[in-house]
Amino acid sequence: MSTTTDVRSTAQPSSLATSTAFRTFAVVTGLATTVIYVICEMQNWPLFTYHPGTNRVDWFYSPAVRDQGPAMYWYGWIATTLIGAPILGILAMLLPERITKKIPLSLVWIFPLAAVPVLIYALRFFWRW
């Protein structure tokens, strides 16, 4: 069995796929998504809070209101992340190529793996017997 990757595609890559600027955007967006989301989760920084019991939306963090059901922050964390990460990706495109080329591609899979134990720790409230 061969140990080398065999992708066996004969298709020509699109111009977007060969664009250095898009490569920088994609790498930085991927890395920033992981970092920003983990920070949002641990610090509880939602862009907005949704109250499903009353269908009310408040900007940023808002605690649950007594007798009106829970408050949901996950949507707000997603919003913070999915706005912040692409902005960082776009800003990174403005950097010189000699700098952005130095970002190791392996980080795009190492960061998510490294985030798992951090998130498990952040969820320690739930690991009780």
Partner 1 sequence: MGLLPDFILDYIDVSTFWTILMIVHGLLAVALLGALTHQAMSVLAPVRQVAGSSGIVTRFRAVQGAGYAAAVCVLWVVTFFFGAWIYTKYRMYVRIPIEQQGFWKTQGVFELKEHLAVIGLGLLPIYWLLWKDVRNPDYASARKWLTVVLAGMVWFMFLVGHIVNNVRGFGS
Kindly state whether residue 16 participates in binding partner 1, applying the rule CB under 8 A: yes
DSSP 31-76: HHHHHHHHHHHHHT--SEEEETTTTEEEES--PPPTTS---B-HHH
Among 82, 87, 90, 93, binds partner 1 (CB under 8 A): 82
Q: How many C-beta neighbours within 10 Å does residue 95 have?
A: 13
- Please state, in angstroms and rounded to a whole number, the distance separating the CA atoms of residues 117 and 122: 8
Site string for partner 1, 37-66 (x = CB under 8 A): xx--x--------x-xx-x-----------
Token pair of 123 as six digits: 């969820």
- The residues that touch partner 1, with contacts defined as CB under 8 A, are 1-2, 4-9, 11, 13-14, 16-18, 22-23, 25-27, 29-30, 32-34, 37-38, 41, 50, 52-53, 55, 69-70, 72, 74-75, 77-78, 81-82, 85, 89, 105-106, 108-109, 112-113, 115-116, 119-120, 123, 125-128
